[in-house]
Amino acid sequence: MKVLLLGKTGQVGWELQRSLAPLGELVALDHESSDFHADFSEPERLAETAAAIRPDVIVNAAAHTAVDKAESEPDLARRLNATAPGVLAQAAHETGALMVHYSTDYVFDGSGQRPWREDDATGPLSVYGQTKLEGEQLVARHCPRHLILRTSWVYAARGGNFAKTMLRLAKEREQLTVIDGQFGAPTGAELLADVTAHAIVATLRDPAKAGLYHVVAGGETTWCGYARFVLAQAQAKGVTLKAGPEAVKAVPTSAFPTPARRPHNSRLDTGRFQNTFGLVLPAWEKGVSRMLEETI
């Protein structure tokens, strides 16, 4: 089996390089790759890449993920998040490949308290959310044999992340101020990559499993709850902090205005994914603890 991975250097892409390797021959590209064209800002040329490689599976982990910046560059965000995945999906369909694509809780308007289900009405609040939604729609339209995985609050051990920022600030300051009005589940790139590999194998065996799924870690928290958990874990591991979990002050989202609006309710119902693939999505605390173990 041949797998083509786009966006190999991103949080999820990096972990996919590991989790997809056992499936067969893996061709992993980023936009600086010299052998094949993989720059999403020139979407039409991605078809040439897919035609030359002729993969059995295309996994797209590349995206315009700078949520606030997308507000001022909607054309580029649309090219990366919608047009390019659409071109890849068309190429996948033409060669009979399975198309795997990631999307986001930001396709919803964040109203209510209930975890969103796959068929709930969308209503993006930002350019990022809108262009990701358009990307989903193009992938589904051009390649019926697809897995579209909506996730949220992705972190990875490699590179910067929210937990590392909180740890750094808690060593420098007596008090931290963190927003408390958004609800979701921090989800490890590692977990996403692992369940993606499982889902690919299962869908290749049973094409009826193709479709749209919500995939996040179990449970829920707020950014404030997340920060407190990180600091408590760090203290338990013997890290000296100026600000412990009790020194994290909760503030409403409006305290930190940003160009892009974020949904308040980012809870995603993962029942369909867990039932279809027979997988368990562990509590978010497990993945974050493990990441801290590697980081501290």
Q: Which residues bind ligand NDP (CB under 6 A)?
A: 7, 9-13, 30-31, 38-41, 61-63, 65, 80, 102, 104, 132, 151-154
Pick the closer one to ligand NDP by CB: 70 or 292: 70
Phi (first) and psi of residue 280, to 5 degrees: -115, 130
Least distance between ligand NDP and beta carbon 5 (Å): 10
Cα(40)–Cα(48) distance, integer angstroms: 13
Residues 288 and 157 sit within 8 Å (Cβ to Cβ): no
Measured from the CB of residue 189, what is the shortest distance to ligand NDP in angstroms?
6
Closest CB 286 distance from ligand NDP, rounded Å: 18
Name the residue nearer to ligand NDP (CB basis): 13 or 86.
13
Min separation Cβ 213 and ligand NDP, Å: 13
Q: Considering the complex, state which of residue 44 and residue 246 has its C-beta at the smaller distance from ligand NDP.
A: 44
Closest approach of ligand NDP to the CB of residue 13, in Å? 5
Tell me which residue has its CB nearest to ligand NDP: 10
Instruction: Output 30 or 73, the one with its CB closest to ligand NDP.
Output: 30
Q: Of 243 and 262, which has the nearer Cβ to ligand NDP?
A: 262
**Positions marked catalytic:** 128
